[in-house]
Amino acid sequence: MSPRVRLFAALVLVTSLSACAHQVGSAVQPGAPGFLFGLWHGFIFPVAWVLSLFVPDVAVYAVPNNGGWYDFGYFLGIVFFGVGSHRGTKTVYVRSRRA
């Protein structure tokens, strides 16, 4: 097969598959968790993770959510307010110069 025929076949395949896609009016539901819930869920992530191992109704991530703002809050909750916010000890090594 020539490269042009392969390219044409790929374009036809992609176009025919995209024709089957169904568009939803709004992907975000009005009551879906947003930024503040994401912040809270990120903060309580360690507890929620342990509970999710034993309780089937507990999840560490809310689905469905409102997308990017929930993810941003979740990230901030984990990194800055939750597990990642603990400061470790910093050790500074100083080289001594021998004269």
pLDDT for 26 equals 61
pLDDT for 20 equals 72
Residue 84's pLDDT band (boundaries 50, 70, 90)?
low
- Positive or negative torsion for Cα 52, 45, 83, 68: positive
What residues contact residue 60 under an 8 Å CB cut-off, 6+ apart?
A: 41, 45, 48, 49, 52
Does the pTM of the predicted model rise above 0.75?
no
pLDDT for 29 equals 72
38-64 pLDDT per residue, tens? 999 998 888 899 999 999 898 888 888
8-44 pLDDT per residue, tens? 998 888 888 877 776 666 666 778 888 999 999 998 8
More confident residue, 8 or 92: 8
Percent with pLDDT over 90 in the chain: 14
Contact between 98 and 61 under an 8 Å Cβ cutoff? The reply is: no
